[in-house]
């Protein structure tokens, strides 16, 4: 990964931050994108101390013009974007603190869910593909979720967005990117211990994933060792999805 440029949305916390740390240790140039300025500054300072070459860009991924500014800042600083990891997102009712059920919650809650989890990734795919096409190389990683496969009655926009990423969008981006030597892969975790509540979700192996297990798969799929992986979703869920077939 030496001198590769990796742009990570949602890079100030969770899986995104861990990706940034791991790529920095491998010698990559890291661009962290997040809307939380305080958390972003702390993440940049931590990674810079490795030492590593890191850039933080504070934007709202729902604003396409700002997304383009983030892309341009990365290219201006490092000259390329070799890997895009779309980590930004989350369950809309949890993020917004909504307790009401679907029919009673404001529709703005679900607009937010679609905008952050689906349109934010689409915006970055679109903006960064322009750079990757110039380079004639690149890898785009989408972050799916077991929720995209099994559904969620409380976070319907999140489930719908992740399903779209895992199916139509990853496949379509791979089809489009092929002529530019750009791959697209979706990594879809089951429960991950980025939050304690995830430990309560049932899996065949009897536990939730450690965050590092998810990041290891992301890094493999985006590396040269994963060069034959394209247009598909890798479900890394401890067998949770398979459990539905035996109940």
Residue 246, pLDDT > 80, answer no
Please give the pLDDT value at position 78: 97
Q: For the chain, what are the domain ranges?
A: 5-243
Active site residues: 158
Please give the pLDDT value at position 114: 97
pLDDT band at 120 (very low <50, low <70, confident <90, very high): very high
Question: Which class is domain 5-243?
Answer: alpha beta
> What DSSP string runs through the chain?
-TT-EEEEETTTSHHHHHHHHHHHHTT-EEEEEES-HHHHHHHHHHHHTTT--EEEEE--TT-HHHHHHHHHHHHHHHS---EEEE-----HHHHHT--S-TTTS-HHHHHHHHIIIIIHHHHHHHHHHHHHHHHT-EEEEEE--THHHH--SS-HHHHHHHHHIIIIIHHHHHHHHGGGTEEEEEEEESSBTTSGGGGGS--TTSSPBPHHHHHHHHHHHHSGGGTT--SEEEEESTTHHHHTTT-
pLDDT band at 1 (very low <50, low <70, confident <90, very high): confident
């Amino acid at each position: 990964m030496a001198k590769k440029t990796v742009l990570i949305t949602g890079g100030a916390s969770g899986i995104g931050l861990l990706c940034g740390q791991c790529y920095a240790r491998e010698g990559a140039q890291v661009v962290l994108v997040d809307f939380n300025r305080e958390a972003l500054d702390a993440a940049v300072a931590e990674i810079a101390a490795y030492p590593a070459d890191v850039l933080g860009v504070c934007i709202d991924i729902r604003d396409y013009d700002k997304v383009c500014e983030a892309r341009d800042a990365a290219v201006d600083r490092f000259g390329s974007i070799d890997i895009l990891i779309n980590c930004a997102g989350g369950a809309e009712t949890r993020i917004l603190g909504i307790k009401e059920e679907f029919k009673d919650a404001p529709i703005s809650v679900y607009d937010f869910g679609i905008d952050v989890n689906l349109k934010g990734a689409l915006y970055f795919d679109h903006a960064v593909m322009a750079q990757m096409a110039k380079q004639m190389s690149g890898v785009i990683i989408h972050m799916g979720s077991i929720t995209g496969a099994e559904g969620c009655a409380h976070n319907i926009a999140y489930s719908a967005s992740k399903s779209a990423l895992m199916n139509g969008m990853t496949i379509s981006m791979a089809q489009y990117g092929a002529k530019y030597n750009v791959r697209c892969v979706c990594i879809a975790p089951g429960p991950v211990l980025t939050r304690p509540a995830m430990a309560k979700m049932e899996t065949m192996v009897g536990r939730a994933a450690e965050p590092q297990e998810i990041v290891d798969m992301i890094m493999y799929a985006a590396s040269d060792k994963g060069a034959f992986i394209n247009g598909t979703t890798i479900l890394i869920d401890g067998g949770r999805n398979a459990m539905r077939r035996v109940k």
